[in-house]
Amino acid sequence: MTKAAGMLHRSPRLRLALLLAAPLTWLVVAYLGSLAVLFLSGLWTTDPFTSDIVRSWTLDNFRALVTTEVYRRVALRSIGVALAVTALCVVIAFPIAFYTARVARPRWRPLLVVALLTPLWASYLVKAYAWRVMLARGGLLDWLLTPFGLDGPGYGLTATILVLTYLWLPYMILPIHAGLERVPDSLLDASADLGARTARTLRTVLLPLVLPSVAAGSVFTFSLSLGDYIAVQIVGGKTQLIGNLVYSNITLDLPLAAALGTVPVVVIVLYLLAVRRTGALSSL
Amino acid sequence: MATGNGTTAITLRGLRKSFGDVPAVDGVELDVAEGEFFSLLGPSGSGKTTVLRLIAGFETPTSGTVTLAGEDVTRRAPFERDVTTVFQDYALFPHMTVEQNIAYGLKVRGASRREQAERARAALASVRLEGFGARRPSRLSGGQRQRVALARALVVRPRVLLLDEPLGALDLKLREQMQTELKELQRDAGITFVLVTHDQAEALALSDRVAVLNAGRVEQVGTPGELYESPASAFVASFVGTSNTLTGRAAELIVGKPGTFGVRPEKIRVLDADGEHDRADHSAVHGTVADAVYLGDSTRVVVDTDAGVRFVVVRQNLDTTAADALALPGSRVLLHWHRRHNVPLSQAT
Amino acid sequence: MRANRTILTAVALGGLLLTGACGGSSDDTSDGAPGGRGFTPPKLSAPKSLGWTEGEVNLIAWAGYAEDGSNDPKVDWVTPFEKQTGCQVSTKVAGTSDEMVNLMKTGQYDAVSASGDASLRLIASGDAAPVNTGLVPNYRDVFPGLKMQPWNSVKKVAYGIPHGRGANLLMYRTDKVSPAPDSWKAVFDDASRHKGRVTAYDSPIYLADAALYLMKTRPDLGIKDPYALDQKQFDASVALLKKQNGNVGEYWSDYLKEISAFKSGDSVIGTSWQVIVNTAQAEKAPVKAVLPKEGATGWSDTWMVSAKAKHPNCAYKWLDWIVSPKVNAQVAEYFGEAPANAKACAETAAKNHCTVFHADDAAYWKQVHFWTTPIPQCLDGRTDVKCVPYAKWVQAWTEIKG
């Protein structure tokens, strides 16, 4: 026993290996393994009648991804939705987080944050269906907008973006709140002191300093939006996103579903690489 | 107004600031002359930083006025005041380089790119940081950051520079060096400096005049000499340097009249108990040495006097040695000093 | 009704991919020779007689088909079965026909409630065994129109016991659609009248609805069976649906979603199921449904026995039980479909259930084309062309929705 302990003490590598063995196994086998299987099964094909997987290697599915116009269109639409949701989340989350992190009295701040997170306690489906009711013809949104001579968006792309924005907003508010809280008051004082008006201080000092937090939040909103297929089924009208395509192919044509599934993976990896340049990943 | 040119840079009248029910600044009246090096000295919680923030405009007073160069700026935002600040934590923008930090105030004021670059470089040179312009603040040492903060505040040529405990985070050697540099900078720039500090030595070393604050009020304003030699209150006497305070029966016994008096430790001589002490212009008291600490250049002697008051005396080691200091405790001594060193203090704390 | 709905939602969600429900072309019962369907099933035989029950049975079922009271204490026809036969029932609820096919391949299950497309695949792969209907006494009372159909028999050999059936109807808001429609034209050629408020079933199998419409309106295309489309017929159907897409507000696969859309008026006309119509009316939505003059698509489910069944005697007991008049009535009412057993109509709680669901309406079912899996060998018997297989339907459906 003592001997073993001594050996562990003398050999930091052994210690590290023991410490990381379990999580690494998990990471490699369960996580990377499943991604590898996903990609590999995209190289298979199916029997058209029995839907059995035929394990012969072919690039047909990936070729179809690139050459079939509808897949390209849906992929681009999905990315567009994810970007729009992310942009909306930033625009809405920033003032809210600014209030909770810098304006509200310090002792109210934790309570406000908890309040902002309460929507997360409700089931995703309940929230999505609630929005379905609100967006219905003659629903709450119509009723609110009619006095201004406007109509609600109805079900469709706009509704999807709206609901996804609502669903993922807390994931944007939280990191921005944390980022804003970390900015020392003295930096804002210093900027004003050196002659910068409030708007300029926001733009040149506060914004650059919370940009990594915004980017961190955007990783959540972007990837969650890109992977969603339920909200769009509930409020998207006839809109198809990449998640719907994966879902509708999963039992009929698993290899094609797998090939489609690699699209968001690739897009998100590219997004993460882009975000990494802002230094946001270090503040995650 | 010791070295000022006569006009007033800052005037504070009836200045009050409360946070909730707690008054932080409680009726401060001050006049700071143009070109003066002025210090706000006080213990933590005395309101000195709040006074500074009121001058800068980071806080709005509960009542009273702030006047800068004859203009009432009480309700003006920081960016509308011709004042800049060196913050305690330096508050350098971490996402900008040193040069961008320094040029920030110029940029905000719409200076041309060339002017920004030239003046930023000159400012860097003035704080002896040539070649550091491209670095991030995080790559600088504490002393270097301090200088960048100074350069950034001075480059816009403000009418008044406020310094909030700027040397507090530096080690002793660096602090002494920076004190000298600060003094020189102020002399060269001819700008009014207002320094907030809790370090009485720093305040005395740097300032033309010092305001001693206590519990949100000004206890005394004066030159370092005035404060040290004629402290107006027991608080000032004990906060600025150390002082033996005589009051009540002890005052009557030793000074010969009622009141409160302060006596500086270095003014007192320590004689043998049977030494001569009958000179009429001297005060004297017998006592027993409780402790003696050898400090190299001097020895700090603590004496329990027969008048019932404990005295601290600093004796220069002109002829005495460490061995003499060791021999002192327990011995009977006579303390005496010239009567003019009995400084009457107001009864206020 | 609530519990009922949850179950149905699950079924509807499961039916999304619609490998689900059943199949067969239908009005063409004479074409019972499945050899013409492009495959010959492996040689398997049905038992001649039953032995002792094995004490347990493992089922694969659609949600709501084997209720043991755990969803609603009042809905329980499994417990009495267990008491009566001594066969403990374990049910695996499957969401799609593909799942059913995959589960059956494991050989761990004894019986399955297969829909038309799944049933044919199970027969073709040899996973389902022929059924000796003589060992299922209640089979006698099954509606003749359900016996020996292309989706439950091959070469005059029965492969299962019919469970129940339903049709896809045309539902509309009575206050928004007038005159009352009597043709699928309302959701195809005339769909623009309700631009943005037309709804359609969200599954590739919905292509058959378009083909059915073209079968009647475009005789030049020569469509005989909406599940047997050659490339030209298929392209015409796809084109029709692409045109329809411009007028569609949303597609539905969750039946709650369709009800909410009709209640709010977001949808005013589109394909639907009888049970949805009933529920929507119960919730005071001003809707009605018709079986349009062109006929309709629909589903018909079959209980099948696994070729590898470890508990065949209990499985046969279950088959007899589930089509017995009382139980068949219960399950048909719970799920909202027409029972298979004619005598069940006397046992339903709602006396008019069989009327509402047209259980005994031969003329009605003549117009219903039950779902089946399109395969390259044309199901209508043509041999001179290749038909478009289901995989292409799936792809086309994606493209239609865009």
Q: Tens digit of pLDDT for each residue in C123-152?
A: 888 889 999 999 999 999 999 889 998 888
Number of separate domains in chain C: 2
Task: Return the structure tokens found at B197.
Answer: 């500090």
Cβ–Cβ of A252/C17 closer than 8 Å? Answer: yes
Asked if the C-beta of A138 comes within 8 angstroms of chain C's C-beta atoms, the answer is yes
Does the residue C139 lie in any domain?
yes
The beta-carbon neighbor of A48 closest among C125, C250, C389 is C389
Are residues C60 and C151 both part of a single domain?
yes
Residue A48: closest CA among chain C residues belongs to which residue?
C391
Could you tell me where the DSSP H helices lie in B158-199? Answer: 172-189
Q: B3: helix, coil or strand? A: coil
Name chain B contacts of A279, Cβ cutoff 8 Å: none
Name chain A contacts of B163, Cβ cutoff 8 Å: none
In angstroms, the separation between the Cα of residue C42 and the nearest Cα of chain A is 15
Cβ–Cβ of C390/A48 closer than 8 Å? Answer: yes
Kindly give the interhelix angle for A242-249 and A254-276, rounded to the nearest 10 degrees.
150
Task: Return the structure tokens found at C160.
Answer: 């299962």
Beta strands in C119-228 (DSSP E): 128-129, 153-154, 157-158, 161-173, 198-201
Could you tell me where the DSSP H helices lie in chain B? Answer: 48-56, 98-108, 113-126, 142-154, 172-189, 200-206, 224-229, 234-239, 248-254, 322-327
In angstroms, the separation between the Cα of residue B175 and the nearest Cα of chain A is 22
Does the residue C2 lie in any domain?
no
The number of C-beta contacts closer than 8 angstroms across A and C is 95
Cβ–Cβ of A189/B58 closer than 8 Å? Answer: yes
Chains touching chain B, criterion 3+ CB pairs below 8 Å: A
Is CATH 2.60.40.10 the right assignment for the domain spanning A69-283? no
Domain that holds residue C90: 34-165+300-370
The beta-carbon neighbor of A73 closest among C254, C375, C402 is C402
CB contact residues (below 8 A), chain C span 245-274, against chain A: 245, 248-251, 253-254, 257, 260-261, 264-266
What is the radius of gyration, based on Cα positions, of chain B? 24
Determine which helix (DSSP H) or strand (DSSP E) holds C121, and give its type and residue range. helix C116-125
In angstroms, the separation between the Cα of residue A178 and the nearest Cα of chain C is 39
Query: Alpha-carbon distance B240 to B235, whole Å?
Result: 8
Judge residue C225's burial from the number of C-beta atoms within 10 Å of its C-beta, 0-12 exposed, 13-18 middle, 19 or more buried.
Answer: buried
Are residues C198 and C143 both part of a single domain?
no
The set of residues, in sequence order, having a beta carbon less than 8 Å from that of B243 and lying 6+ positions away, is: B231, B234, B237, B262, B263, B264, B265
Are residues C392 and C264 both part of a single domain?
yes
Does the residue C84 lie in any domain?
yes
Determine which helix (DSSP H) or strand (DSSP E) holds B294, and give its type and residue range. strand B282-294
Q: C401: helix, coil or strand? A: helix
Asked if the C-beta of C286 comes within 8 angstroms of chain A's C-beta atoms, the answer is no
Residue C106: strand pairing partners? none
Chains touching chain C, criterion 3+ CB pairs below 8 Å: A
In angstroms, the separation between the Cα of residue A77 and the nearest Cα of chain C is 10
CB contact residues (below 8 A), chain A span 74-133, against chain C: 74, 129, 132-133
Which amino acid appears at position B192 of this protein? T
Are the CB atoms for B27 and B16 separated by under 8 Å? Answer: yes
Pairing of β C269-273 and β C198-201: parallel
Are residues C211 and C288 both part of a single domain?
yes
Judge residue C28's burial from the number of C-beta atoms within 10 Å of its C-beta, 0-12 exposed, 13-18 middle, 19 or more buried.
Answer: middle
Cβ–Cβ of C391/A253 closer than 8 Å? Answer: yes
Are residues C193 and C258 both part of a single domain?
yes
Asked if the C-beta of A202 comes within 8 angstroms of chain B's C-beta atoms, the answer is no
- List C-alpha distances in Å: B266 to B75, B255, B315, B344: 48, 18, 6, 17
Cβ–Cβ of A252/C402 closer than 8 Å? Answer: no
Does the residue C22 lie in any domain?
no
List per-residue pLDDT tens for chain A, 284 residues long.
567 777 777 777 888 888 888 888 888 888 888 888 888 888 888 776 666 677 888 888 888 888 888 999 999 999 999 999 999 999 999 999 999 998 888 889 889 989 988 888 888 889 998 999 888 888 888 888 888 887 778 888 999 999 999 999 999 999 999 999 999 999 999 999 999 999 999 999 999 899 888 988 999 999 999 989 989 988 988 889 999 888 877 766 788 889 999 999 999 999 988 888 766 565 54
Residue A211: closest CA among chain B residues belongs to which residue?
B95
Task: Return the structure tokens found at B88.
Answer: 């305690």
The number of C-beta contacts closer than 8 angstroms across A and B is 60
The set of residues, in sequence order, having a beta carbon less than 8 Å from that of C246 and lying 6+ positions away, is: C192, C195
Largest CA distance in chain A: 82
Query: Alpha-carbon distance C163 to C151, whole Å?
Result: 12
Cis peptide before B344 (omega within 30 of 0): no
Query: Alpha-carbon distance A8 to B346, whole Å?
Result: 70
The set of residues, in sequence order, having a beta carbon less than 8 Å from that of A62 and lying 6+ positions away, is: A42, A43, A259, A262
Name chain A contacts of B77, Cβ cutoff 8 Å: 192, 197-198
The beta-carbon neighbor of A186 closest among B79, B83, B89 is B89
Are residues C38 and C110 both part of a single domain?
yes
Which amino acid appears at position B207 of this protein? S
In angstroms, the separation between the Cα of residue A169 and the nearest Cα of chain C is 25
Residue B191 has phi, psi (to 5 degrees) of -100, 150
Give me the residue spans of the domains in chain A: 1-41, 69-283
Are residues C195 and C151 both part of a single domain?
no
Q: Note the Cα C57 to chain centre separation in Å.
A: 24
Question: Could you tell me which of B149, B152, B151 has the C-alpha nearest to residue B164?
Answer: B149
The beta-carbon neighbor of B91 closest among A184, A204, A208 is A184
Does the residue C128 lie in any domain?
yes
Does the residue C102 lie in any domain?
yes
Query: Which residue of A45, A46, A51 is the best one to mutate when testing the C interface, meaning the one whose CB has the most C CBs within 10 A?
Result: A51
Cβ–Cβ of C96/A51 closer than 8 Å? Answer: no
Cβ–Cβ of C265/A136 closer than 8 Å? Answer: yes
The beta-carbon neighbor of B93 closest among A187, A195, A200 is A187
Are residues C61 and C155 both part of a single domain?
yes
Question: Residue holding tokens 């968006």?
Answer: A153
Are residues C120 and C156 both part of a single domain?
yes
Q: What is the DSSP letter of A106?
A: G
Largest CA distance in chain C: 63
Are residues C270 and C187 both part of a single domain?
yes
Q: Buried (b) or exposed (e) across B321-349, using 16+ Cβ within 10 A?
A: eeeebeebeeeebbbbbeeebbbebbeee
Are the CB atoms for A78 and A242 separated by under 8 Å? Answer: yes
pLDDT value for C16:
33
pLDDT value for B120:
93
Kindly give the interhelix angle for C390-401 and C207-217, rounded to the nearest 10 degrees.
90
Does the residue C18 lie in any domain?
no
Q: Note the Cα C240 to chain centre separation in Å.
A: 24
Task: Return the structure tokens found at A66.
Answer: 């690139």
Query: Alpha-carbon distance A21 to A13, whole Å?
Result: 12
Does the residue C97 lie in any domain?
yes
The beta-carbon neighbor of A248 closest among C16, C248, C391 is C16
Residue A64: closest CA among chain C residues belongs to which residue?
C395
Task: Return the structure tokens found at B107.
Answer: 């940029």
Which amino acid appears at position C72 of this protein? D
Query: Does residue B45 have a pLDDT over 70?
Result: yes
Residue B156: closest CA among chain A residues belongs to which residue?
A194
Asked if the C-beta of A192 comes within 8 angstroms of chain B's C-beta atoms, the answer is yes
Could you tell me where the DSSP H helices lie in chain A? Answer: 2-10, 12-25, 33-41, 60-67, 69-98, 109-117, 124-135, 140-145, 157-182, 185-193, 198-201, 207-227, 230-235, 242-249, 254-276
Q: Buried (b) or exposed (e) across C62-101, using 16+ Cβ within 10 A?
A: bbbbbbbeebeeebebbeebbeebebebebbbbbbbbbbb
Q: Tens digit of pLDDT for each residue in C21-69?
A: 333 333 333 333 333 455 678 888 888 888 899 999 999 997 778 988 8
Task: Return the structure tokens found at A143.
Answer: 């009723």
Chains B and C touch each other (3 or more Cβ pairs < 8 A): no
Query: Alpha-carbon distance A136 to A154, whole Å?
Result: 6
The set of residues, in sequence order, having a beta carbon less than 8 Å from that of C341 and lying 6+ positions away, is: C138, C141, C142, C143, C323, C324, C325, C328, C329
Are residues C333 and C397 both part of a single domain?
no
Domain with C326 in it: what CATH number?
3.40.190.10
Q: C31: helix, coil or strand? A: coil
Query: Alpha-carbon distance B33 to A54, whole Å?
Result: 91
Q: Is C358 left (phi over 0), alpha (psi -120 to 50) or beta?
A: left
Query: Which residue of A185, A194, A204, A210 is the best one to mutate when testing the B interface, meaning the one whose CB has the most B CBs within 10 A?
Result: A194
Q: What is the DSSP letter of C317?
A: H
Are residues C243 and C390 both part of a single domain?
yes
List per-residue pLDDT tens for chain C, 402 residues long.
333 444 444 333 333 333 333 333 333 333 333 334 556 788 888 888 888 999 999 999 977 789 888 877 888 999 999 999 999 999 998 766 767 887 888 889 999 999 887 888 888 888 899 999 999 999 999 998 899 988 888 888 999 999 999 888 899 999 999 899 999 999 999 999 999 999 998 888 899 999 999 999 999 999 999 999 999 999 999 999 999 999 999 988 777 788 889 999 999 999 988 778 877 888 899 999 998 999 899 888 999 999 999 999 999 999 999 999 999 999 998 878 899 999 999 999 988 889 888 888 888 888 888 888 788 888 888 889 999 988 788 889 989 998
Question: Could you tell me which of C61, C323, C264, C294 has the C-alpha nearest to residue C167?
Answer: C294
Name chain B contacts of A190, Cβ cutoff 8 Å: 85, 87, 91-93
Asked if the C-beta of A43 comes within 8 angstroms of chain B's C-beta atoms, the answer is no
